[in-house]
């Protein structure tokens, strides 16, 4: 969505669903023995990526719901958010449990996106880090672009194991 025309609500939902399927398929292909292998210095392990994927969609689903109720609400978070740090700092040791958490988190975000309307995508939101911006930027940064980045990261973990 960055640098391109804003997507419709249906396009956001479709891109989200496509990324969810790709992320789950990639997680399914991971070797459970490689969950804690560091793919490169300074990079997250597969377990950490999976833990984050089981956490962040819930957070941003709640943010989106909060914004729909109060359009002046400040949404988003920084990298030092406690829930994010807890998830990444204490990833699950079992691949099946990590996938279950992802499935639940993805469903929660898909549910929040189901209420999204086209006019919402272009509406102004207040981001904790970036200030006033269209909700499309929030959706790109925290949903679509975020998942794309973690899909690449998870694929790199799979090839490193």
CATH code, 96: 1.20.120.450
Is residue 150 within 8 Å of residue 53, measured between CB atoms?
Answer: yes
| Assigned domain for 59 exists | yes
| Assigned domain for 21 exists | yes
Is residue 35 within 8 Å of residue 46, measured between CB atoms?
Answer: yes
pLDDT at 4: 44
Domain encompassing residue 43: 9-160
| Assigned domain for 49 exists | yes
| Assigned domain for 148 exists | yes
In which residue are the tokens 């006019």 written?
119
| Assigned domain for 3 exists | no
Looking at every residue in the chain, the average pLDDT score rounds to 87
Q: Say what the pTM is.
A: 0.88
Between residues 158 and 118, the one the model is more confident about: 118
Edge to edge, what strands does the sheet with 74-75 contain?
74-75, 124-127, 131-134
Q: Which two tokens stand for residue 76?
A: 């988003």
Give the residue-averaged pLDDT of 108-124. 96
Domain count, the chain: 1
Q: Is the pLDDT of residue 84 over 80?
A: no
| Assigned domain for 138 exists | yes
């Amino acid at each position: 969505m960055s640098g391109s025309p804003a997507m419709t609500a249906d396009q956001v939902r479709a891109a989200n669903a496509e990324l969810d399927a790709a992320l789950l398929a990639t997680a399914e292909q991971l070797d459970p023995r490689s969950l804690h292998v560091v793919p490169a210095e300074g990079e997250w392990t597969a377990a950490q990526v999976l833990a984050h994927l089981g956490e962040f969609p819930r957070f941003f689903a709640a943010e989106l719901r909060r914004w729909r109720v109060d359009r002046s609400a400040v949404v988003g978070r920084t990298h030092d958010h406690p829930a994010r740090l807890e998830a990444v700092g204490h990833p699950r040791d079992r691949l099946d449990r990590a996938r279950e958490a992802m499935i639940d988190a993805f469903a929660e975000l898909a549910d929040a996106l189901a209420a999204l309307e086209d006019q919402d995508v272009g509406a102004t939101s207040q981001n904790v880090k970036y200030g006033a911006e269209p909700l499309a930027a929030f959706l790109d940064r925290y949903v679509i672009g975020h998942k794309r980045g973690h899909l690449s990261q998870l694929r790199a973990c799979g090839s490193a194991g």
